Structures are given as structure tokens and as C-alpha cells.
């Protein structure tokens, strides 16, 4: 990739959606000199930046690998449709965010497999990188292509595209893999020999080393194993989570992401034994981090990131043995810093008065309850057998503590489900509304979501058929109709998405050709409803002679070999068969969450014998917010936004600066109420792609800070491109910037246009333009378009001939404004789209005089 081609892309990047996600340079990102490391690994997430950067596993592995001085780890995510188009038009290969190095120049590319519907994105990333899609087409000059994650426990649909799979916890196996790879690549081993050597590592599966056969009873293609060179692959387990310290300086994205907070894994694994849940077996056994290490990590993480929310994460946070102690200890500090606490999810019995009281001490983060089934009978079938009374009591507790929104998650199409079970979903929602006093309340809400059951590998239900798409659609319509009289927001999952997910979840190697064909037809981002091309998928299956229904709609004999039998999750197949029998009998069972741990025999005796402390629940106290500080100090600041940070949106900018204040340790005053916000007031929004020499903000602090010290602290805690220039302490509350600033000054370098036209041409053009009474432009918002006259918002335009710089003075009015890009295109009849625009200053035009916001503030004293 040439520097000129990348520069060309960056000039065009303002036209794509959320360009900042393609530029890197985030706070805490690590860019090492490639010449000073021995091995370079690229973590590739086959979905958008916003989803990938929310994934805990990626954050853990990124900092773990980069903690080794000889290793470099960088990141790449799937570019959105518009960005892919720009990259292909300009022959820009896939590049890393940290050093913008082409992906093909890395030693190892590691894909995170979290969702079956990302498989076409994986192929697309390989193609954008210029790397052959099939493993057998790659040579020594190509990176090693590896993949891991929960859906890797059935790797067969991707077998022909991936060199090797990492099965299980990645921390230990990945470091061992990199170490062995470094030792082997210096030799003259052929690629197939290299892969054979790497397959000796526990938890590594190399598909090309295994033969397959088609099973007569099921028509599945299964993988043959023996006791020598082609043995079963056992999941790698990290028995002690404390062996690798949890990352306390995660990357802080510029743009908002799905989980935009400091997320901390408090435990791994789930002992509940839900029979539909693949994660329940994938992440066994249950292991916990100590509360001391969690608290220490959170305190360091808040200081290094500037986040204002912490999330305690695990598959079942309520099972954490010291949850109450942890929450109470954390909130003593978090409340003082105005940092909110959230919990990823809670089972109904786990929402105690203590937890509710503690969480709301700062602000009320969301609460989710997942009954999964409406009836107690069906909950016993799926082994999620808490009572209806517990569900209602949990919801009542949340609403009584002041929560206004509650999320309820259910599944349809579960084994043995009846019409009565569907009706009981609606009845349960009604009972929650009535018990919580919400039947006639408009302020509180229930969001009820329904997904479709998919029989996943390594679960007791893996042998059962999935319900057909038309039946699932009918059930969704039935629920929608029954819920319509209630104050409930109903969401459902596209049955076509569930169908495809199920096909690849239970698929075999034969699906590889269908996957390739679908990608060639243009399938991308299949997990996004608005991007799914189900028609193209059906064409791909037909053209590759695959019947997708054959993977889903038949019951499989429990004695029949399965496409994923060569991958061992650690839970014996005999136990899954037993759980299936109990499910069909409507019998619940105790998972490994019980003290009598005899469920799966996965854990060694010493782990079972380890006693978990039994802690007395603290008495809930009525949290009292600290009194609002009586002292308030007002400041007005000027700052710059330059370089690549010109691609920050206004919301991104506000987020970046607010977090910079937190990292700098500058205390802020906060609003009161349900969702306290820092009292920072920003000046007029700046368009994406426009640099600025001078922007303004006001803030209020409960503590006096010398302006020079303030500037120094902030600039030390902001990324390159954001720089504070001046701060002034004010004696009293100033007028809001929105009431003061009414003129924005822009400069535009006309070097390219001046080469083609004489300066007199520009002067005449400007004169004629300013004489117009009307300048119409078209603006669009979503599907809506409207025409607007921007001439009233153009105060002046003039040319600085010696420098070849055009100056725009545009009015800022509550009724509207003119965008500099609109003015340029109107002035030059569509030309000048890529001319560099700089906002030079913001002013208050008063009685013919241009006043700085600093001057106005001083004049108010």
C-alpha cells in the first residue's frame, strides 16, 4: 500500500459513515515499531468497530500480547459497506489501526468467532487483505490464519478457510502458539509441516490434518479421529483467572460503542446448566476473580480511561460468591467520583434490595430479566426453573427502587412448547405490570424481546429439530397481537436470521462452498437485518447442491456421530444425553452451581474442594447522595481540534474531552436527577472533517484550579489533535456560549482552484454570489429531503489574494445556519468538495464589532 493511496483514502474518508473508526490513535492504543518486535499478530473482528471494541476477549488478548516486549498486537474490524467500496475503488488493502500496516504483512491473523452470521465478513476481510481464502492455497509468504471463540466449538463450516482453530480459553494457548510459531518459522518447514507441529499444542485444531466421511444415517459429514495423529481436540482451560492480570488500561474508543464503559470480567463460566445455552458449556468450569483484584483493577482502569460507568460482567453475575461485598465496597468509592455501576444481567432471585439500593447511588443503569419461557413447566424443561413469584418480585423491586424501564427476554420454539406457553408469556407480562402498579402508568416501560430457539452444538438440545421459519413467524405475530393492548414494547428476531444461524451452528464441512458462493454474490453483515440478503443465500445453497433444511429440521439419534464430535467441550456426551432425557420428562437438575458438584466431572478435585466464602448480606441502607458542593468555580476555555481528530463528530468530541477531564483528575459539578451529567457546555457543533483553530467550552468545578495548571493537566490527558490553548476563571456564571457566539469564521485554501482560474474570476464570482437573495441547497435526514435557502446565514465572503485563501463568515442562529461545504459547492457550482476547510474562530458580532467569547465573559464581570 503506497502512502499516496492511503492519503487519497483519508481525504475521501469524511464522506463515509463514522470515519473516526477507521483511523486508530485512540487513548491507550499501542503502536509498536514493527522492526523492534519478533512477531506481529493482528486481531481481526469480523463485524463493525462498535461491536468488536465492546468484546472483552479482544481487550484481554490485545493487552496480554502487547505486554510482551517482543510481540506486537494490532487490530482490524470489518469496514462498513461504504468504506469497503472506497477501499476497493482505490486498491487500498485491509490495514491495521495501530500502524496502518497491510494485514498481509503480519505474521499471524487471529479471527474472533462470536457469531455464525459473521462468516461472510471473515471471508471479506481475507479478500480485502489480498490473502487467498482457502487454507490450501496459502504459502509460506502468507500470514498464519487462526480463529477462536465460542462458535469455534463447531469449526467445520470454516474448515477450508482457517489454518488452525484455538479451542477454549485463549490466554495460555495463544502465547504458547506464538512462542512455538516463532521457533518453527525460522526453519525451512513447509506450511503443512508447520501446521502439523502446531497441532501438538493442547487446544489447537488443524482441519487439514483430518479425514472426513459422510454418515449414512444422518447424511452429515463427520471428522475421523484416532489415538495417534488425529486425536480429539480438548478445550483448553485456564484454571486460575488470576494467572493473567485483567487489563486495567483498555483502549478508549473515540466513537460510541455498544458497551461504552469499563467492563470487568468478575467470573468466567456459568453453573446454572440451562439446557439451550451453548455458552454454559463453552465456558465451563466456573472460575472467579478475587474481589480485591477486581476492585484494584477498576480503580486503575477508571484512572487510565476516564470512563464514568463500570460494568461487572459474567454469564451469571448473581452467582459470584461475594457479589454483595464487592458492590458495597465499590460504591463507597464510585459514588464520590460520580461513576455509575451496572451489572450485565441478573436472575430474578439475585436482584436483592441491597443490590438495587447500591446501584442507584449514582444513577439507575438498566435491568434485564431473562425468564426465557412464560410457563413454569417450560422453564423446568430448559432448566431455568425459578418461579413466577420470583420473577414478579424481582420486577416489582426494580420499579419500587425507581427504575423506569425493565427488559424481559424470552425464547419461542423451545422443545415441547405449546400454545399455552405462548399465552403465559403475555400473562406474565400482565402480572408484572399489575404487581408493579404500571398497568396505567405511562412513565414506566417494559421492553419485551423474543428470540428463536436454535439447537446449538455441545448442549443437551443439540439432537433436537429447530422449528420452521413460518411457524416462528406465526408465533411472533400471535405474541404481537396479544401484547398490543399492554404498555409493552415488543421486539423480535428475524426468523430468517435464526434459520441461517442454525444452519451454520449445526453445519458440517460441506457448507464451506455455500458460504463462499454467498460471499461471492455479495453477502455481507448477514447478522444485520437491513443487510441480510436471504434470497442470495438461498441461491447459494441451490447452486452448491446444499439443502440447508437438512441440518435443522430433523431429530438426530443420540448415538449418531455429529460434525463436531472431534471437539471436546469438557462436558461428557453421556451427561448431555441424560440432560436431554430429563428435559423431555420436564425435570430440572442441579448444575455445577450447587455445592454438590457432581454434574460434569470437568473440574479437578482441588478446584471442587476450594471453599467459597459465605458472606452475610449487608442491610440495605438508604443511599444519601453527597450534598451539592456549595462552592462553584466557572471557567471558559479555548481549544483546538486538528489533524485526524477533525473526523470526530460533535458527540465524539464531547465524549473525548469529558473523559480527558476525568483522567486529568479535574473535578466537575454535576446536574441533579435521574442521570447526572457533568456541567460542561460546548460551543457550536463542528462538521465532521473540518479542522478548528479555536473552539470554546465552559465548565463548572467545585474546586479552584489555576488556569495554567488546568491547561497542563488537560493537555497531558488528551490525544494528539486535541489541545487546550487558554483558560479563564470567571467570577460568576457566564451567559451560555450558545447565546453569545453568532459568527463562525472559516478559511479555505484554494490552491487547486487558483491554478485553473485567475483571481479576478474568484472575486467576480464572490461579488455575484453575495448579491443573490436566495441560495438554495438540499438537505436530507434519513429518507426525508428538503430545500433550504442558506443566503440569510452568509454574513460575508472574501478572498485573501496573496495567500490564496477564501474566508467565509457564517451566521449562527437558533433558526438555522449554513454549512461551509454547502456554501463552497453553491459558490463553485458543485466543485470544491475536497477543499480543506478550517474553522478559524468563533465570535460575537455586536454593533459591528467582532468580540471573542473571552471578551464577552470579561465584559460581564
Does residue 499 fall inside a structural domain? no
- Same domain? 651 vs 788: no
Mean pLDDT over 410-435 rounds to: 95
pLDDT at 619 over 50: no
Q: Point out the domain boundary residue: 711, 735, 759.
A: 735
- Same domain? 253 vs 180: no
Task: Give pLDDT tens digits for 1-38.
Answer: 555 566 667 767 778 999 999 999 999 999 999 899 99
- Same domain? 229 vs 254: no
pLDDT at 483 over 80: yes
pLDDT at 626 over 60: no
Task: Give pLDDT tens digits for 553-592.
Answer: 999 999 999 999 999 999 999 999 999 999 999 999 987 6
C-alpha count within 13 angstroms, C-beta hemisphere, residue 193 = 7
pLDDT at 381 over 60: yes
- Same domain? 679 vs 809: no
For residue 42, give the CATH number of its domain: 3.40.50.280
**H or E stretch covering 846:** strand 837-846
Does residue 852 fall inside a structural domain? no
- Same domain? 342 vs 440: yes
> In whole angstroms, what is the distance from residue 384 CA to residue 174 CA?
34
- Check residue 617 and give its pLDDT: 46
Does residue 842 fall inside a structural domain? no
- Check residue 189 and give its pLDDT: 87
Mean pLDDT over 508-512 rounds to: 98
- Sign (positive/negative) of CA torsion 265, 268, 274, 275? positive
SS (H, E, C) 92-106: CCCECCCCCCEHHHC
SS (H, E, C) 460-520: CCCCCCCCCHHHHHHHHHHHHHHHCCCCEEEEECCHHHHHHHHHHHCCCCCHHHHHHHHHH
pLDDT band at 816 (very low <50, low <70, confident <90, very high): confident
- Least confident residue range of 638-642, 730-734, 806-810: 730-734
- Same domain? 250 vs 184: no
Task: Give pLDDT tens digits for 132-164.
Answer: 999 999 999 999 999 999 999 999 999 999 999
Quick check: 378 and 421 in contact, CB under 8 A? yes
- Same domain? 72 vs 217: yes
> In whole angstroms, what is the distance from residue 113 CA to residue 537 CA?
20
Q: Point out the domain boundary residue: 735, 760, 778.
A: 735
Does residue 656 fall inside a structural domain? yes
Print the domain residue range for 389. Answer: 241-493+564-609
Does residue 849 fall inside a structural domain? no
Q: CB-based contacts of 534: which residues, under 8 Å, 6+ apart?
A: 496, 500
Q: What share of the chain is helix, strand, coil (3-state, %, to 5)?
A: 35, 20, 45
- Same domain? 296 vs 414: yes
Task: Give pLDDT tens digits for 218-236.
Answer: 999 999 998 766 899 999 9
- Same domain? 665 vs 726: yes
pLDDT band at 405 (very low <50, low <70, confident <90, very high): confident
pLDDT band at 814 (very low <50, low <70, confident <90, very high): confident
> In whole angstroms, what is the distance from residue 824 CA to residue 845 CA?
23
Count of domains observed in the chain: 4
Average per-residue pLDDT for the chain: 91
pLDDT at 388 over 80: yes
- Same domain? 584 vs 488: yes
- In 188-251, the DSSP E strands lie at 204-205, 212-214, 221-223, 233-234
Quick check: 252 and 305 in contact, CB under 8 A? yes
pLDDT at 65 over 50: yes
For residue 723, give the CATH number of its domain: 3.30.70.580
Q: In what order do the strands lie in the sheet with 445-452?
A: 367-372, 405-412, 445-452, 488-492
End-to-end CA distance of the chain: 57
Task: Give pLDDT tens digits for 171-206.
Answer: 989 999 999 999 998 887 899 999 999 999 999 999
Does residue 408 fall inside a structural domain? yes
Tell me the C-alpha to C-alpha distance, in Å, between residue 814 and each of 471, 609, 739, 844: 53, 68, 9, 14
pLDDT band at 535 (very low <50, low <70, confident <90, very high): very high
Task: Give pLDDT tens digits for 427-468.
Answer: 999 999 888 775 545 555 889 999 999 999 999 999 999 999
pLDDT band at 594 (very low <50, low <70, confident <90, very high): low
Q: Point out the domain boundary residue: 212, 234, 256.
A: 234
Does residue 501 fall inside a structural domain? no
For residue 568, give the CATH number of its domain: 3.80.30.20
- Same domain? 99 vs 41: yes
Task: Give pLDDT tens digits for 315-367.
Answer: 999 999 999 999 999 999 999 999 999 997 888 888 888 888 898 888 777 78
Does residue 844 fall inside a structural domain? no
Mean pLDDT over 489-514 rounds to: 97
Helix (H, G, I), strand (E, B) or coil at 257: coil
**H or E stretch covering 583:** helix 573-584
- Same domain? 295 vs 151: no
In the block, residue with C-alpha cell 409493552: 488
pLDDT band at 809 (very low <50, low <70, confident <90, very high): very high
pLDDT band at 613 (very low <50, low <70, confident <90, very high): very low
Amino acid at each position: 500500500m503506497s502512502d499516496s493511496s492511503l492519503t487519497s483514502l483519508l481525504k475521501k474518508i469524511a464522506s463515509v459513515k463514522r470515519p473516526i473508526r477507521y483511523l486508530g490513535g485512540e487513548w491507550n492504543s499501542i503502536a509498536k515499531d514493527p522492526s523492534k518486535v519478533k512477531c506481529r499478530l493482528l486481531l481481526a473482528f469480523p463485524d463493525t468497530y462498535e461491536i468488536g471494541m465492546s468484546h472483552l476477549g479482544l481487550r484481554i488478548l490485545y493487552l496480554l500480547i502487547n505486554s510482551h516486549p517482543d510481540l506486537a498486537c494490532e487490530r482490524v474490524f470489518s469496514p462498513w459497506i461504504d468504506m469497503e467500496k472506497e477501499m476497493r475503488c482505490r486498491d487500498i488493502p485491509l490495514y491495521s489501526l495501530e500502524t496502518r500496516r497491510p494485514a498481509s504483512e503480519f505474521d499471524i491473523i487471529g479471527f474472533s468467532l462470536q457469531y455464525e452470521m459473521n462468516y461472510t465478513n471473515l471471508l471479506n476481510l481475507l479478500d480485502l487483505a489480498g490473502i487467498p481464502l482457502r487454507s490450501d492455497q496459502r504459502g509460506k509468504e502468507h500470514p498464519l490464519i487462526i480463529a477462536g471463540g465460542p462458535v469455534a466449538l463447531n469449526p467445520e463450516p470454516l474448515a477450508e478457510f482457517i489454518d488452525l482453530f484455538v479451542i477454549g480459553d485463549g490466554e495460555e494457548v495463544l502465547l504458547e502458539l506464538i512462542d512455538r510459531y516463532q521457533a518453527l518459522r525460522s526453519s525451512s518447514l513447509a506450511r503443512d509441516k508447520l501446521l502439523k507441529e502446531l497441532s501438538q499444542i493442547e487446544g489447537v485444531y488443524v482441519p487439514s490434518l483430518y479425514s472426513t466421511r459422510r454418515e449414512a444415517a444422518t447424511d452429515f459429514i463427520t471428522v475421523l479421529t484416532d489415538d495417534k495423529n488425529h486425536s480429539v481436540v480438548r478445550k483448553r482451560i485456564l484454571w486460575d483467572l488470576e494467572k493473567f492480570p485483567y487489563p486495567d488500561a483498555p483502549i478508549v474508543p473515540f466513537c460510541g460503542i455498544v458497551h461504552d464503559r469499563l467492563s470487568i470480567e468478575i467470573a468466567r463460566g456459568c453453573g446454572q446448566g440451562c439446557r439451550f445455552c451453548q455458552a454454559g458449556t463453552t465456558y465451563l468450569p466456573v472460575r472467579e476473580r478475587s474481589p480485591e483484584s477486581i476492585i484494584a483493577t477498576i480503580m486503575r482502569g477508571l484512572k487510565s480511561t476516564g470512563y464514568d460507568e463500570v460494568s461487572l460482567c459474567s454469564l451469571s453475575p448473581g452467582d459470584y460468591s461475594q457479589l454483595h461485598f464487592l458492590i458495597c465496597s465499590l460504591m463507597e468509592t464510585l459514588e464520590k467520583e460520580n461513576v455509575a455501576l451496572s451489572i450485565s444481567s441478573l436472575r430474578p432471585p439475585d436482584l436483592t434490595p441491597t443490590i438495587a439500593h447500591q446501584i442507584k447511588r449514582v444513577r439507575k443503569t438498566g435491568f434485564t430479566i431473562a425468564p426465557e419461557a412464560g410457563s413454569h413447566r417450560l422453564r423446568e424443561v430448559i432448566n431455568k426453573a425459578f418461579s413466577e413469584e420470583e420473577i414478579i418480585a424481582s420486577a416489582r423491586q426494580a420499579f419500587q427502587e425507581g427504575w423506569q424501564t425493565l427488559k424481559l427476554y424470552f425464547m419461542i420454539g423451545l422443545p415441547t412448547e405449546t400454545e399455552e406457553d405462548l399465552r403465559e408469556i403475555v400473562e406474565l407480562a400482565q402480572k408484572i405490570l399489575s404487581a408493579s402498579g404500571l398497568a396505567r402508568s405511562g412513565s414506566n416501560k417494559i421492553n419485551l424481546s423474543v428470540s428463536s430457539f436454535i439447537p446449538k452444538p455441545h448442549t443437551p438440545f443439540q439432537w433436537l429439530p429447530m422449528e420452521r421459519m413460518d411457524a416462528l413467524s406465526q408465533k411472533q405475530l400471535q405474541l404481537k397481537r396479544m401484547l398490543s393492548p399492554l404498555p409493552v414494547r415488543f421486539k423480535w428476531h428475524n426468523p430468517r436470521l435464526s434459520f441461517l444461524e442454525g444452519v451454520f451452528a449445526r453445519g458440517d464441512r460441506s457448507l464451506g462452498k455455500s458460504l463462499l458462493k454467498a460471499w461471492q454474490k455479495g453477502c455481507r453483515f448477514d447478522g444485520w437485518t437491513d443487510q441480510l440478503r436471504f434470497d442470495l443465500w438461498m441461491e447459494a445453497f441451490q447452486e452448491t447442491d446444499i439443502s440447508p433444511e437438512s441440518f435443522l429440521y430433523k431429530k438426530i439419534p443420540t448415538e449418531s456421530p455429529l460434525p463436531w464430535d472431534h471437539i471436546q467441550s469438557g462436558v461428557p456426551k453421556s451427561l448431555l444425553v441424560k440432560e436431554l432425557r430429563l428435559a423431555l420428562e420436564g425435570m430440572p437438575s442441579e448444575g455445577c452451581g450447587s455445592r454438590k458438584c457432581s454434574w460434569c466431572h470437568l473440574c479437578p478435585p482441588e478446584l471442587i474442594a476450594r471453599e467459597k466464602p459465605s458472606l452475610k448480606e449487608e442491610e440495605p441502607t438508604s443511599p444519601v447522595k453527597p450534598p451539592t458542593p456549595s462552592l462553584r468555580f466557572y471557567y471558559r476555555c479555548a481549544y483546538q481540534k486538528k489533524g485526524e481528530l477533525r473526523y470526530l463528530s460533535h458527540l465524539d468530541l464531547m465524549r473525548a474531552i469529558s473523559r480527558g477531564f476525568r483522567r486529568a483528575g479535574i473535578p466537575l459539578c454535576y446536574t441533579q436527577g435521574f442521570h447526572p451529567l457533568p456541567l460542561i457546555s460546548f460551543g457550536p457543533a463542528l462538521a465532521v472533517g473540518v479542522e478548528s483553530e479555536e473552539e470554546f467550552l465552559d465548565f463548572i468545578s467545585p474546586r479552584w484550579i489555576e488556569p495554567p495548571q488546568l491547561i497542563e493537566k488537560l493537555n497531558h490527558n488528551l490525544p494528539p489533535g486535541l489541545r487546550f490553548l487558554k483558560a479563564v476563571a470567571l467570577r460568576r456564571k457566564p451567559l451560555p456560549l450558545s447565546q453569545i457566539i453568532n459568527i463562525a469564521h472559516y478559511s479555505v485554501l484554494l490552491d487547486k482552484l487558483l491554478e485553473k482560474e485567475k483571481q479576478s474570476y474568484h472575486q467576480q464570482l464572490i461579488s455575484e454570489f453575495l448579491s443573490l437573495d436566495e441560495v438554495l441547497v438540499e438537505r436530507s435526514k434519513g429518507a426525508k429531503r428538503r430545500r433550504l435557502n442558506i443566503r440569510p446565514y452568509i454574513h460575508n465572503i472574501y478572498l485573501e489574494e496573496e495567500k490564496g485563501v477564501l474566508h467565509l463568515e457564517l451566521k449562527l442562529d437558533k433558526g438555522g445556519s449554513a454549512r461551509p461545504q454547502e456554501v463552497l459547492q453553491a459558490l463553485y457550482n458543485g466543485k470544491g468538495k475536497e477543499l480543506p476547510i478550517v474553522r478559524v474562530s468563533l465570535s460575537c458580532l455586536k454593533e459591528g464589532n467582532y468580540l471573542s467569547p473571552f471578551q464577552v465573559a470579561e465584559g460581564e464581570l
